[in-house]
Amino acid sequence: MVVMEKPDLPIPAWDASGALVPLGKLAVHRQGLRHPAVSVFVLRGQEILIQQRAAGKYHTPGLWANTCCTHPNWGESAAECAARRLGQELGISGLALRHVGQVEYRAEVPGVREPLIEHEVVEVFLGEAGWPLDLELDPGEVQAVRWVSLDDLRAEIAARPEAFTPWLRIYLEKHAAMIFRSSELAGSI
């Protein structure tokens, strides 16, 4: 089932006074407001599951990203959000996720109509998948997935950075040690 993205849905964001308030997602990204987010990396041995964002996304359409990333709903915990979005975007359920840390970044992202700004405080989760891992992609969110080693992913990003989301590039450049320290990829960092 294709569900069109609704960029006007409210997400939590910090306003000028520092209060966390619900604001429209597109307005948050137009203004570059600081807001909570969640990112998930699913691993299978030495490989990372990455996704290509759907062509209909309002920003970074068609770019490759980590397994799953999103904004929590108002009142939703980061852990609940991570599990929910894995199910919604990729059909993954029942995978044990562990919180590995928090990252804050600010980056311009290509939007469909205008450049936008992500200023996220991201709770990062890691999950280890076994064989087989059945996937059911939501085509409104994800157009493709693939497994890739950390070394190959870094080489691809170096060769074609424009094919990858700014946040994935930032995660691997600045935060890989934190993200993968407790996984089989720790030796590749």
Please identify every residue annotated as catalytic: 69, 120
What span, in angstroms and rounded, lies between the C-alpha atoms of 189 and 170? 14
Neighbours of 2 (CB within 10 A): 9
Residues 6+ apart with CB under 8 A from 15: 21, 23, 33
Residue 37, burial from CB neighbour count under 10 angstroms (0-12, 13-18, 19+): buried
**What are residue 119's phi and psi, to 5 degrees?**
-130, 90
The rounded distance, in Å, linking the Cα atoms of 29 and 153 is 27
Residues whose CB falls within 8 Å of the CB of residue 138, separated by 6 or more in sequence, listed in order = 1, 2, 3, 88, 89, 90, 91
d(CA 180, CA 120): 20
